[in-house]
Structure 1
Amino acid sequence: MTSAAATAPVASVRGVSKTFGARKALNGVSVEVAAGEMVALIGPSGSGKSTLLRSITGMQSIDAGDGVIDVFGKTVQKNGRMTGDVRAARVKLGMIFQQFNLVGRLSLFSNVMLGALGRLPGWRGLFGAWPQADKDKAMAALHRVGVSDYAAQRANTLSGGQQQRGAIARAIVQGARAILADEPVASLDPVSARKVMELLVELNQRDGMGVIVTLHQVDYAIRYCKRVVALKAGKVVYDGPSSGLDTPTLIEIYGPEFEDAFWETKA
């Protein structure tokens, strides 16, 4: 990897819009996330957080026009079209979803091994003929996230927190350079949520992975992320240190009921 590639931003979004019917989910959004940075995306429901994350990964096309999205220095969307670099970019991005996105009938180990598919021949995955080095890497990843004891268990028999940690292990096996997590703790109890957030922080600080995480819980954004980007009605209304989220700013983002966005004060 060249030094330029290693230091290229995880994502550079410039003037991006996305329209669904009459609604502008994104309206001229520009934001850049540096290599090795951990950023929280916050905002009310329907503000455009998930649409922005899905656009960065190429799971969602953007409107035609001047909007451009780069991932690790390669343009993945431009003028409303995906480019030829989008598939290669996805391999570098580990996606974590609110509903875990594991194959329920497969073991946790098999789900984690799926992270290796992007760099191995398809027939190996079809027949389960995984190289030993990748098997070892998968078990090491499961151990790291604290669920190696459940490696042989079907994913759909595990708790939400265990499944989400398995999804993080899959991203590790994938060899992702950044993790994009879309409401990764929304379906979890507070204890499991804190464990998942602490794992994301560890991957960011110890492994240098970039992390972009959408959160409904403002207190989690403040606690775990130094930088916060807030969206409202498809526009960026705040981009700065989490310490700057004072009461007037939160009222601007969420309205007078902003305290509803604080999880643990309600628990």
Structure 2
Amino acid sequence: MTAAAASAVASVRGVSKTFGARKALDGVSLEVAQGEMVALIGPSGSGKSTLLRSITGLQPIDAGGTIAVFGETVQKDGRVTGAVRRSRARLGMIFQQFNLVGRLSLFSNVMLGALGRIPGWQGALGLWPGADKKKAMAALHRVGVADYAAQRANTLSGGQQQRGAIARAIVQGAQAILADEPVASLDPVSARKVMELLVELNKRDGLGVIVTLHQVDYAIRYCERVVALKAGKVVYDGPATGLDTRTLVDIYGPEFEDAFWETKQ
């Protein structure tokens, strides 16, 4: 394995995933280096979320392909390996529906990012180390929601919850961020704030970021590299500036403008 492959956030080689008669992924290969911010785009059902879930090991792949995270093979020939647990500790996952515990305070949700560093019983009792508490408050300040630290998560707006999820990944000490449609449930103002935070983690902290997006305009605005999937295959992998009209028609069809979110608001 080359040094570049060993340090890559994800190395995907010949990966397919079949659900019944449908191939959600069909021989996908790509590599995302640490420090890159990559958008995964494509029509609904193109395989974006399946690919992201496969990288984390949440979705087993078909035999014949391999996936490595930071140089460790996490899936091979249809089997999830023992390295997947270590890889998940290094990956911060951001989901469309926030994945916060609604009855807990925002602060408690962010503290869950520290669970991998302390015994489970200690976390269950809320006996958090002082250093982690300080880290959590610093993360909440950084994402702009420290004033809501004591508030129950299910009373917060979608944008506030998503920023809390990003703070949780910061406390986790994630070395890369995988975000699955993180702005799909948000209004444009909140969506832009979340995307700006992901860009900051990429540029300031040097984290690799892979984000699936339905909004092509956001992919172009915030990500230098775009990977487009269609019917489970990679049909474009290159700079965001290369997404001209002809390429977008190839990806989305003649109604490609429907994928530009803010022009429809």
TM-score normalised by structure 2 residue count: 0.98
**1:93-112 map, 5 Å:** 93-112=91-110
* Structure 1 equivalent of residue 119 of structure 2: 121
Task: Give the CA deviation at 1:28.
Answer: 0.2
Contact 2:41 2:228 (C-alpha < 8 Å) held by counterparts = yes
* Structure 2 equivalent of residue 63 of structure 1: 62
Q: 1:201-227 CA deviation, whole Å, 9 max, x = no partner?
A: 000000001000000000000000000
Q: Does 1:16 align with 2:15?
A: yes
For structure 1, list consecutive stretches of 5 or more residues without a partner in the other structure.
none
Q: 1:19-70 CA deviation, whole Å, 9 max, x = no partner?
A: 00100000000010001110000000000000000000000000012x0000
Paired AA for residue 63 in structure 2:
A
Contact 1:61 1:80 (C-alpha < 8 Å) held by counterparts = yes
* Structure 1 equivalent of residue 223 of structure 2: 225
Paired AA for residue 166 in structure 2:
I
**1:1-267 map, 5 Å:** 8-65=7-64, 67-267=65-265
For structure 2, list consecutive stretches of 5 or more residues without a partner in the other structure.
none
- Cα distance in structure 2, aligned partners of 1:186 and 1:265: 15
Q: 1:155-188 CA deviation, whole Å, 9 max, x = no partner?
A: 0000000000000000000000000000000000
Identity of aligned residues (%): 86
Paired AA for residue 11 in structure 1:
A
Task: Give the CA deviation at 1:153.
Answer: 0.2
CA RMSD of aligned residues (A): 1.1
Paired AA for residue 18 in structure 1:
K
Aligned residues: 263
Task: Give the CA deviation at 1:259.
Answer: 0.1
Paired AA for residue 238 in structure 2:
G
Contact 1:145 1:168 (C-alpha < 8 Å) held by counterparts = yes
Paired AA for residue 265 in structure 1:
T
Secondary structure in structure 1 of the residue aligned to 2:61: coil
TM-score normalised by structure 1 residue count: 0.97
Secondary structure in structure 1 of the residue aligned to 2:236: strand
Decide whether aligned partners of structure 1 residues 73 and 157 sit closer, same or farther in structure 2, where only a CA change above 3 A counts: same
